[in-house]
């Protein structure tokens, strides 16, 4: 009987003290992430990207938010590259595929490869920002903006170039969906990056020439 009563007290403690604290913490994290994602073009995707990280690591700085967004974009871009390679291999093995279809796929693959490289470069550059002096900040900022913008252009061009009858409708839909997700993640990354750099320049007195 005493043991049952003790178990009851423990359960009451969890319900009345621990559980509300957890709920409040998660609610606070969601409100925080919603506020950070307002500046992005795809806020729902932004929240999905940042919220798991916030729950595990607390409230990340604007620079860390941009890094998380870029890392998520890079992961999706690499997945897209692997899937595109599989489709291209299948298309090349099909004797009835046309030269135009093969060329379109090869061009799309080239653009995706370029996009992966550009996002990788952006992520490495972003990690370096603020570590080698404010005098180099604008140079890093320009590089990241250029590379992410180029990756966005490559993704758009690739989506527009997917045509032909030898690629099944389901594969076309999958390709377009994955590339579109890369494009959306890249767009959000650029928005969060711009938010970070704007705040950093203002707090450090860095002026754009």
Q: Is residue 29 part of a domain?
A: no
Q: Is residue 17 part of a domain?
A: no
User: How deeply is 166 buried, as exposed, middle or buried, from its count of CB atoms within 10 A (0-12, 13-18, 19+)?
Assistant: middle
Cα–Cα distance between 181 and 187 in angstroms, integer?
A: 10
Q: Report how many domains make up the chain.
A: 1
The pLDDT assigned to 74 comes to 94
Q: Is residue 26 part of a domain?
A: no
**Distances 38 to 31, 33, 42, 120, 181 between C-alpha atoms, Å:** 11, 9, 9, 25, 18
User: How deeply is 50 buried, as exposed, middle or buried, from its count of CB atoms within 10 A (0-12, 13-18, 19+)?
Assistant: buried
Contacts of 187 (CB under 8 A, 6+ apart): 40, 41, 42, 152
pLDDT value at 137 more than 80 = yes
The pLDDT assigned to 26 comes to 56
Domain holding 168, by residue range, is 61-204
Q: Is residue 74 part of a domain?
A: yes
Cα–Cα distance between 41 and 5 in angstroms, integer?
A: 54
Q: Is residue 41 part of a domain?
A: no
Q: Is residue 47 part of a domain?
A: no
3-state secondary structure of 164: coil
pLDDT value at 89 more than 70 = yes
Q: Is residue 113 part of a domain?
A: yes
Domain CATH number, residue 96: 1.20.140.40
Average the pLDDT over 123-131 and give the result: 91
Per-residue pLDDT tens digits for 23-80: 344 577 788 899 999 989 999 999 999 988 886 556 788 999 999 999 999 999 999 9
Phi, psi of 113 (to 5 degrees): -60, -45
Let me know: does 117 contact 81? Beta carbons within 8 Å. Answer: no
């Amino acid at each position: 009987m005493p043991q049952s009563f003790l178990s009851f007290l423990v359960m009451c403690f969890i319900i009345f003290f621990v559980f509300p604290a957890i709920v409040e913490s998660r609610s606070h994290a969601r409100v925080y992430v919603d506020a950070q994602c307002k500046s992005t073009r795809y806020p729902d995707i932004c929240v999905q990207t940042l919220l798991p990280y916030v729950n595990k690591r607390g409230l990340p700085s604007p620079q860390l938010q941009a890094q998380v967004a870029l890392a998520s974009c890079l992961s999706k871009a690499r997945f897209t590259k692997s899937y595109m390679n599989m489709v291209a291999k299948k298309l090349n093995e099909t004797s009835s595929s046309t030269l135009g279809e093969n060329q379109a796929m090869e061009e799309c693959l080239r653009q995706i490869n370029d996009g992966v490289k550009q996002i990788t470069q952006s992520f490495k550059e972003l990690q370096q920002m603020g570590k080698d002096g404010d005098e180099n900040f604008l140079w890093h900022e320009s590089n990241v903006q250029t590379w992410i913008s180029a990756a966005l252009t490559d993704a758009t061009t690739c989506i527009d170039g997917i045509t032909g009858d030898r690629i099944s409708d389901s594969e076309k839909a999958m390709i377009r969906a994955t590339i579109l997700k890369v494009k959306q993640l890249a767009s959000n990354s650029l928005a969060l990056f711009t938010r970070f750099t704007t705040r950093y320049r203002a707090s450090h007195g860095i002026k754009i020439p």
